[in-house]
Amino acid sequence: MIGLIGRKIGMTQVFDEGGAAIPVSVIEAGPCPVVQVKTEDRDGYNAIQLAFEEIRPTRATLPRLGHFRKAGLPPYRYLQEFPVDDPGAFAAGQLVDVGIFKDSKTIDVTGRTKGRGFQGVIKRHKFKGLRASHGVKKVHRAGGSIGSSAWPSRVRKGVRMAGQMGNKAHHVKNLTVVEVDVENNILLVRGAVPGPRNSILRLTAPAPAQG
């Protein structure tokens, strides 16, 4: 598996050779420096740590500064691990850019959905609501009954009710790679990706076959 940390820029559209419009998400993907290489012999698994978005040293804690100093790097805001088959192909301080997706037809994107706050059942679960006549008064957006009569005399788990909506990790698989712009660190993928503008995304794809 290969991967990068990116930032959602927004959405736009491009046109194919036949003139059809393709909705695409614009992602700033990397470049991400390798902070640490983990091997199965030393750590029990093969992976690399990648960082994204450099910050001032005054914005980082001392343990974080020391961790990046070992790799000869300034501190970064985001740090994530990506499993790899051959950790020997990477070294601390090495830059990984969006060019790793040039041979990928599809990628997976993980992000956090937009937070909607506390919402009722109509917006959160698409409930129809109660009718607007025949004695219904001031409860048109209520969820209705939630009980189960005399047995089990409690509200069952999983009943759809009002509550926190959004702000959850969401994983979208097999988004088609439309364009890879290595010079500007831009990746275009077909369709929508989770999260608002400027949110952080985790981009992964199967490693290209060797030979």
**Given this model, what pLDDT does residue 138 score?**
84
Q: Are the CB atoms for 53 and 78 separated by under 8 Å?
A: yes
**Given this model, what pLDDT does residue 208 score?**
64
* Alpha-carbon distance values, 129 to 6, 48, 161, 164 (Å): 40, 50, 12, 19
| pTM across the whole model | 0.82
Q: Are the CB atoms for 188 and 6 separated by under 8 Å?
A: no
Positive/negative CA dihedral, 101, 90, 83, 63: negative
Distance, CA of 173 to CA of 189 (rounded, Å): 11
Give all domains of the chain, ordered by start, each with its CATH number.
Answer: 2-114+170-205 (3.30.160.810), 116-144+151-165 (no CATH)
DSSP summary character for residue 64: H
pLDDT digits 0-9 by tens, 135-183 = 888 888 888 888 888 888 889 999 999 999 999 999 999 999 999 999 9
| Paired residues of 194 in beta bridges | none
**Given this model, what pLDDT does residue 149 score?**
80
**Given this model, what pLDDT does residue 24 score?**
95
Q: What is the 3-state secondary structure (H, E, C) of 149-207?
A: CCCCCCCCCCCCCCEEECCCEEEEEEEEEEEEECCCCEEEEECCCCCCCCCEEEEEECC
**Given this model, what pLDDT does residue 206 score?**
80
**Given this model, what pLDDT does residue 209 score?**
57
Per-run averaged pLDDT (10 residues), the chain, 211 residues: 91 91 93 92 92 92 93 93 89 90 91 95 92 82 84 89 95 93 93 94 79 48
**Given this model, what pLDDT does residue 192 score?**
93
**Given this model, what pLDDT does residue 136 score?**
81
**Given this model, what pLDDT does residue 172 score?**
94
